[in-house]
Amino acid sequence: MVNYASPFAEDNCIATLTPPTGQLSGAFFPVGSTAVSYTVTDGISNATCTFQILVIDNEAPTIVGLPANISVSTDPSDSTALVTWAAPTASDNCAATITADHASGDAFGIGTTPVTYTAMDAMHSISATFLVTVTDDEDPVITCPPNDTLEVDATCSVATPLYTAAATDNHTIDSIWQTEGPVPNDPLTLVSGPYYTKWAAVDSSGNITTCVQWIELIDVDAPVITCLWPAPIELNADQNCAAIVPSLSSQQTYDDCSGVTVEQDPESGTVIYGDTVITTTVTDAFGNVSTTTDPVHLKDITPPQHDALPDTMELEIEYGMPQCHAHIPDLLSFLNPVDGCSGIDHVDQTPPPNTDFVVAPQWVFVEVADNAGNIARDSV
């Protein structure tokens, strides 16, 4: 509202003063300069008086509802965060506008970003700021080398291969490194396994994640069997032409990395009645199998059996024989030889039956031989 001294008219005649519409003293004037004109007329001529009313706004606008500082984490799998807030407003005695350098719903990067609002009226400008802080709390995603299976060599060991890990992140990976386990070319042995490698990845915000890779060692070589028995294996047969199968494990050596189980067929302690073959099967812890065969020969060491001969024999001189002569008797008929293993090869008598001899004490010898060369001898 502006109050001013109103002008008046003077004339030698009657004059009429016309005031401006809406601009009388006590009216409201806008901020700024406004021209006010009064006109006077006497019917013959007129005159105009103009003056300026300047309204100055001394009251600055204010910003209402400025948000407090905001702290958020990045959106999942993203290096930014979409941040929202209730926008502030401008309050002023006159008309005011409000602007900002960021809007609610904008994407903010990692770190601290100031958000400034500015309120302006015709005469003044005022600003206010709050902070938006975005932190990266998301761990990297690390991919270990795949679990591996390695075959050991003849020395039961293998060299560690070159392995690498990979990682991804919503922002930036800083580094990837191996924290535990064997490194390339380190020797790995069956007796010390299994093995593992451990890896770590860190992003630019310091978030760390780890993973583990397992390494399994396997033996693919069949056991090596060394036999110490002479070939073929000879076993002495008893009088029934039987023998007991021995255990060959004490006469064999095994070259293997993972330990073995040994099976023998026929098993030790089995009674056999003829030549056979012993099969030894050696299986290691990884299922690798080796076999060996050993021929077995039963050796007959038992002489043949026969019936006993008389201790002595008395012979009568046969009719028609020269004086004091007789024939050697056939002792073979007394023998009834048997051999339960290899069989009878021959039966001999010395001197042979019916041999003519001069009557006198005479030894007669018999011999029974089997097919293995065993001989039984007797005499009368």
Both 70 and 113 in one domain: the answer is yes
Same domain as 155, residue 119? no
What is the predicted pLDDT for the residue at 228?
78
Distance CA 212, CA 200 (A): 9
pLDDT tens, per residue, the chain with 380 residues: 888 888 888 877 788 888 898 889 889 888 888 899 999 988 788 888 898 988 888 889 999 999 999 999 999 999 999 999 999 999 998 889 999 999 999 999 999 999 999 999 988 999 999 999 999 999 999 999 999 999 999 889 999 999 999 999 999 999 999 999 999 999 999 888 799 999 999 999 999 999 999 999 999 999 888 887 788 899 999 888 899 999 988 778 787 788 889 999 999 999 999 999 999 999 998 999 999 999 999 999 999 999 998 888 877 776 666 777 788 889 998 899 998 888 899 999 999 998 888 777 889 999 999 998 999 999 98
We report the CATH number of the domain holding residue 149 as: 2.60.40
Same domain, 123 and 185: no
Rounded distance, CA 348 to CA 228, Å? 42
Give the pLDDT score at 319: 67
- 369 inside domain: yes
Q: How would DSSP label each residue in 186-239? A: -EEEGGG--EEEEEEEEETT--EEEEEEEEEEE--SPPEEEE-S-SSEEEEE-T
Question: How far apart are alpha carbons 199 and 180 in whole angstroms?
Answer: 7
| One domain, residues 148 and 131 | no
Determine, yes or no, domain membership for 311: no
* Longest distance between any two alpha carbons in the chain, whole Å: 227
Q: Identify any residues that bridge with 99 across adjacent strands, giving them in sequence order.
A: 118
Extended strands (E) in 301-373: 325-327, 344-350, 356-358, 365-370
- Per the structure, the complete domain to which residue 277 belongs is given by 224-300
Residue 150 is assigned to a structural domain of this protein? yes
Of 95, 119, 135, the position where a domain reaches its end is 135
Q: Of 143, 150, 181, 182, which Cα lies nearest the Cα of 164?
A: 143
> If we measure between CA atoms, which residue out of 105, 113, 100, 101 comes closest to residue 75?
105
Q: Judge if 199 and 228 occupy the same domain.
A: no
Of 103, 135, 167, the residue at which a domain comes to its end is 135
Q: How far apart are CA 118 and CA 125, in angstroms?
A: 7
DSSP 104: T
8 A C-beta contact, residue 237 and residue 245: no
Residues 186, 192, 194, 196: what is their CA dihedral angle, to the nearest 10 degrees? -40
Cβ-proximal residues to 22 (8 Å cutoff; 6+ apart), any chain:
none
Say whether the peptide bond before residue 67 is cis (omega within 30 degrees of 0). no
Verify that 129 and 151 share a domain, yes or no.
Answer: no
> Pairing relation of β-strands 208-218 and 224-227?
unpaired
pLDDT of residue 209: 98
Q: How many domains does the chain have?
A: 5
What angle is formed at CA 108 by the lines to CA 137 and CA 86, rounded to 5 degrees? 110
Q: Token digits for 243?
A: 């023998």
One domain for residues 88 and 29:
no
In this structure, is residue 11 part of a structural domain?
Answer: no
Q: Which two tokens stand for residue 287?
A: 């299922």
Domain membership flag for residue 259: yes
| Same domain? 339 vs 370 | yes
Contact 249, 264 (CB under 8 A): yes
Both 126 and 66 in one domain: the answer is yes
Q: Provide the CATH number for the domain around residue 292.
A: 2.60.40.10
Residues 50 and 78 in one domain: no
In a domain, 41, yes or no: yes
Instruction: Check whether residue 276 and residue 334 sit in a common domain.
Output: no
Residue 320: what pLDDT? 67
Other Cβ atoms closer than 10 A to 205: 19
Tell which of 100, 135, 170 closes a domain.
135
